[in-house]
């Protein structure tokens, strides 16, 4: 396709308006205007672009809270549309003026120059499952905050649980249920905090059931079952990993997947000097947290617990071999780095990075074909 005949369109999308800047062939200045975000307005935008442009049209906008609906609507109207990673958009230093019109023009110019990085859009079903997973994660965070508030309130009242080391188990909950205060005001405060904890625990339990239900349906059944063969990965974690990563074919190598979840070291090298720092923490933070939590379980020697053996029944031998190899390698790495005096967080992150490679080997079609 002749790029000189393409009309490059940058859009700065918001909740109620879209700033549009179109770079058309033969025109020295961009054509700029604003559109509403209603379905009728977006259809009108697509028709206007196809009517006024002398050749093919390519639109782009940055990923954000508006989601992928704009892209789907424009593509349905026959207009090419790409969603851009905002964190990788080049920025000029020293620019002190920012407006929607300027942002749209900048996107169009960078898009034409090929300096923007595309975001892989999920399907509507993948996006729906991903939203449910993130809803569950929000409830998990809210539950943690509610528990902290209750614990700090009890600490201020010098009510300290000493029966066992672990909190929020059955004995701790029974202790909380039997707790009473002589002061009616303090009792009301405690009841409110404890009720919030119980409500969030029930919300989390209900969401776990829904995730398990959807994870057992096609097209998620097989990859979820394969991931559950790994130590430290059960149903909720497996469903969330599949929902967040959805299409593994876009990662050509394990290192590309590691970079996507921000588990590769940062680097600042020059000349003969190589200098690597902490992990980049760029990309998908939800997947990064899940991988670090899963890697935490590999501190102990390789073993198959009864629940893990049950999850592995009937799964392909290729998957089981990779999962077993992961157990051995990750445990050995933990011991080796611990004996070398590496700090604990750095050790766990290194294990999570290596675990990412094993997950890629299980779920990527090219890796599966090679092993078969």
Q: For residue 369, what pLDDT band results from cuts at 50, 70 and 90?
A: low
Based on the number of CB atoms within 10 Å of its own CB, is 245 exposed (0-12), middle (13-18) or buried (19 or more)?
buried
Q: What is the pLDDT of residue 266?
A: 84
- d(CA 299, CA 289) in angstroms, rounded, equals 17
More confident residue, 3 or 7: 7
Per residue in 192-209, pLDDT tens?
Answer: 999 999 999 999 999 999
Burial of 109 (0-12, 13-18, 19+ CB in 10 A): middle
At 12-28, the pLDDT tens digits run 999 999 999 999 988 88
Rounded CA separation 330/349 (Å)? 11
pLDDT of residue 295: 95
Q: Give the chain's largest Cα–Cα span.
A: 82
What would the mean pLDDT of 125-138 be, rounded to a whole number? 95
pLDDT at 366: 60
Model confidence at 276, in pLDDT bands (50, 70, 90)? confident
**41-50: per-residue pLDDT in tens?**
999 999 999 9
274, pLDDT greater than 80: no
Cα–Cα nearest to 249, from 86, 368, 85, 126: 368
Phi-psi region of 354 (alpha: psi -120 to 50; beta: other; left: phi over 0): alpha
Q: Are strands 17-23 and 7-13 parallel, antiparallel or unpaired?
A: antiparallel
* Predicted confidence (pLDDT) at residue 317 exceeds the cutoff of 70: yes
Nearest to 121 by CA among 61, 57, 71: 71
Q: What is the DSSP letter of 68?
A: T
Write the CB contacts of 272 (distance below 8 Å, at least 6 apart in sequence).
Answer: none
The model's pLDDT over 99-119, given as tens digits with 9 standing for 90+, comes to: 999 999 999 999 999 999 999
Half-sphere exposure of 96 (CA within 13 A, CB side): 1
| The predicted structure's pLDDT at residue 288 | 95
- Whole-number percent of the chain with pLDDT over 90: 78
Per-residue confidence (pLDDT) for residue 5, from 0 to 100: 87
Res 92 pLDDT > 90: no
Q: Six-digit token pair at 94?
A: 């020293």
Average pLDDT over residues 320-325: 95
The band of 280, judged by pLDDT with boundaries at 50, 70 and 90, is confident
Tell me what percent of the residues of the chain surpass a pLDDT of 70. Answer: 98
- Whole-number mean pLDDT of the chain? 92
Looking at residue 279, its pLDDT comes to: 85
Residue 275: pLDDT band (50, 70, 90) is: confident
Cross-strand bridge partners of residue 17 = 36
* Predicted structure pTM score: 0.89
Residue ranges of domains in the chain, CATH in brackets: 3-113 (3.30.420.40), 125-215 (no CATH), 221-371 (no CATH)
In whole angstroms, give the CA distance from residue 293 to residue 203. 21
- Give pLDDT tens digits for 206-246: 999 999 999 999 999 999 999 999 999 999 999 999 999 98
| pLDDT, tens only, 351-361 | 999 999 999 99
3-state secondary structure of 180: coil
Model confidence band, residue 1 (pLDDT cutoffs 50, 70, 90): low
Phi-psi region of 20 (alpha: psi -120 to 50; beta: other; left: phi over 0): beta
């Amino acid at each position: 396709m002749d790029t000189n005949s393409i009309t490059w369109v940058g859009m700065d999308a918001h909740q109620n308006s879209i700033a549009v800047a179109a770079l058309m062939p033969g025109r020295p200045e961009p054509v700029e205007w604003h559109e509403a975000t209603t379905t009728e307005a977006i259809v009108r935008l697509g028709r206007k672009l196809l009517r006024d442009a002398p050749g093919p049209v390519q639109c782009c906008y940055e990923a954000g809270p508006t989601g992928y609906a704009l892209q789907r609507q424009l593509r349905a109207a026959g207009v090419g549309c790409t969603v851009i990673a905002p964190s990788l958009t080049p920025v000029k230093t020293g620019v002190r003026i920012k407006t929607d019109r300027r942002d749209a023009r900048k996107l169009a110019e960078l898009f034409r120059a090929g300096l923007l990085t595309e975001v892989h859009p999920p399907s509507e079903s993948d996006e729906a499952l991903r939203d449910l997973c993130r809803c569950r994660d929000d409830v998990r965070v809210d539950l943690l905050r509610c528990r902290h508030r209750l614990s700090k309130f009890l600490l201020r009242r010098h009510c300290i649980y000493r029966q066992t080391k672990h909190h929020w188990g059955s004995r701790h909950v029974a202790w909380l249920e039997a707790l009473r205060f002589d002061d009616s005001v303090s009792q009301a405060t405690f009841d409110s905090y404890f009720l919030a904890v119980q409500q969030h625990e029930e919300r989390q339990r209900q969401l776990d059931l829904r995730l398990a239900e959807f994870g057992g349906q096609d097209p998620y059944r097989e990859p979820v079952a394969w991931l559950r063969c790994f130590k430290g990965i059960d149903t909720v974690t497996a469903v969330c990993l599949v929902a967040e990563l959805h299409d593994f074919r876009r990662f050509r190598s394990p290192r590309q997947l590691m970079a996507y979840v921000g588990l590769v070291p940062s680097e600042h090298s020059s000349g003969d000097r190589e200098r690597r720092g902490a992990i980049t923490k760029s990309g998908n933070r939800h997947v990064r947290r899940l991988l670090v939590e899963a890697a935490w379980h590999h501190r102990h020697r390789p073993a198959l617990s009864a629940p893990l053996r049950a999850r592995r029944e009937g799964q392909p031998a290729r998957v089981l071999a990779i999962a077993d190899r992961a157990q051995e390698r990750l445990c050995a790495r933990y011991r080796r780095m611990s004996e070398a005096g590496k700090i604990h967080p750095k050790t766990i992150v290194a294990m999570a990075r290596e675990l990412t490679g094993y997950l890629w080997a299980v779920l990527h079609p090219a890796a599966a074909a090679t092993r078969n």
